[in-house]
């Protein structure tokens, strides 16, 4: 299972959180099994996805369907950051 973090600045946190929760069909296409999401300061939203297929995840992330969903949710263009979590620190 691969974990991917995605962060972005959004126009309005509540609008983003409400919209995010409607995209389960899109996430299924990305082979996502669970998604955690929340907000930080200054209208920054972040999500952590667990995916069974990183290639499918990235392909759908760059699709027009995802661009439309991000626009609908109020994600500000040019602010999306993607991190593939490929290391583990056992404590």
CATH number at residue 8: 3.30.70.100
Is 90 part of a structural domain of the chain?
no
Average of per-residue pLDDT across 57-83: 97
In angstroms and rounded to an integer, the radius of gyration of the C-alpha atoms of the chain is 13
pLDDT digits (tens, 9 = 90+) for 47-65: 999 999 999 999 999 999 9
Answer whether residue 30 is part of any domain: yes
CA dist., res. 20 & res. 72, Å (int): 10
Q: How confident is the model at residue 71 (pLDDT cuts 50, 70, 90)?
A: very high
pTM as predicted = 0.91
**How many domains does one find in the chain?**
1
Q: Which residues pair with 5 in a beta bridge?
A: 48, 83
Domain with 71, as residue range(s), is: 2-85
Q: Which of 39, 48, 35, 50 is nearest to 9 (CA)?
A: 39
Distance CA 9, CA 87 (A): 26
Nearest partner of 26 among 55, 71, 78, 63, judged by Cα: 63
């Amino acid at each position: 299972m691969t974990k991917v973090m995605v962060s972005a600045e959004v126009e309005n946190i509540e609008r983003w959180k409400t919209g995010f929760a409607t995209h389960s069909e899109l996430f299924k296409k990305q082979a996502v099994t669970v998604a955690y999401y929340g907000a930080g300061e200054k209208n920054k939203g972040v999500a952590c996805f667990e995916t069974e297929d990183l290639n499918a995840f990235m392909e759908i992330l760059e699709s027009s369907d995802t661009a439309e969903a991000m626009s609908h949710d109020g994600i500000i263009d040019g602010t999306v950051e993607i991190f593939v979590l490929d290391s583990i620190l056992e404590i």
